[in-house]
A and B are shown apart, each in its own frame.
Chain A
Amino acid sequence: MKSAVIVFPGSNCDRDVAIALKKFKFENQMVWHNDLTLPKTDLVVLPGGFSYGDYLRCGCIASKSKIMSDVIQHSKRGGLVLGICNGFQVLIETGLLPGILLRNKKLKFLAKNVFLKILNLNNKFTSSYKKKKIITLPIAHNEGNYFANDNILKNLEDKNLIPFKYCDKNGNIKKEFNPNGSSNNIAGILNSEKNILGMMPHPERLIDPLLSGEDGSILFESLIGI
């Protein structure tokens, strides 16, 4: 399986995600934001970081960069797109995913491990989580407070497009276990065709026992089809 990681000025999780992809035998290429076309690829990853220093709005300037029109084309053809953290913000600003990511409710940058409940196994990104439905992943963000109007939230819930919600260690999804104040404890969402996933937690940071866990590995296993 082929993958392409888009590198924006200010991306800082691009190499981490490349290491994760290589570990799971992806043929990965790094693609500079100023390139006009993607190489032949099955998966496009928009990595975490602070693209363009979060100027104007997080992910906004990156969403208008040259490579993005081909990323949009790739997604319209049914190609897989994964946006992690800042990548999720870019997907939102591009309009490929609905809603918006506001500043964290308590106005603090959050960097810690959180519990997540897997609520959708019927897609290319999370299918392997059937073996483990309550996981831990790190978050590291300032604008992760997902917000959308009632119609969008209802559509996401009705169509089961929310694969990750914040919860406690037993899988209880309650407000007090929500780190950033996101609507309905949302940590990640899919588009209706389920080929685009945007998520605030960082699966690429938990892919080895030496990194204190492998709950992130399962996402890459799902993608590669293990």
Chain B
Amino acid sequence: MKITVTVTLKKDVLDPQGKVVNKTLKNMGYNNIANVRQGKYFEIEINETKKEKAKKIIDEISKKLLSNLIIEDYKINLE
């Protein structure tokens, strides 16, 4: 089973890379871009057939390794 996890900085944490991307897009003439937040994207293949069990494991590793909950949020996407 393939599961993806997106990790982004919390809303209140400054995202310098997102800001620079936003500014660059404006410089390129995309004036309708309002805001950009940059994050991390993980594709995880897991040897598990039960969806719920897989989700539980991915939830655990998202907390333990993939994100730091002081500054980041994560979102799990089951395919």
Contact = CB atoms under 8 A, between A and B. Distances in A.
A-B interaction: yes
Given A93-B68, A107-B16, 7 more contacts: A56-B65, A57-B68, A64-B65, A99-B70, A100-B71, A102-B13, A103-B16
Contact of B68 (A60, A64, A103, A107): A60
Interface in B1-52: 13-14, 16, 40
Nearest to B69: A100
A60 B14 CA distance: 20
Contacts of A147: 70-71
B31 to A, nearest CB: 24
Contacts of B14: 102
- Give the top 4 A-B pairs by smallest Cβ distance, nearest first: A100-B70, A107-B16, A100-B71, A57-B68
B78 to A, nearest CB: 22
Contacts of A56: 40, 65-66
Contacts, number: 19
Contacts of B40: 56
Interface residues of B, number: 9
A99 B66 CA distance: 17
B16 A60 contact: no
Interface string B58-79: 0000000110101100000000
Interface of B: 13-14, 16, 40, 65-66, 68, 70-71
Q: Is chain A's binding surface mostly helix, strand, loop or mixed?
A: loop
Give the dominant DSSP class at B's interface: loop
A102 B71 contact: yes
Interface string A47-64: 000000000110010001
Contacts of B16: 103, 107
Contacts of A103: 16
A56 B62 CA distance: 12
Contact of A60 (B13, B65, B70, B71): B65
A103 B70 CA distance: 14
A100 B70 CA distance: 7
Residue with the highest number of chain A CB atoms closer than 10 Å, among B13, B14, B70: B70
Interface in A103-125: 103, 107
Nearest to B20: A107
Contacts of A60: 65, 68
A189 to B, nearest CB: 15
19 contacts: A56-B40, A56-B65, A56-B66, A57-B68, A60-B65, A60-B68, A64-B65, A93-B68, A99-B70, A100-B68, A100-B70, A100-B71, A102-B13, A102-B14, A102-B71, A103-B16, A107-B16, A147-B70, A147-B71
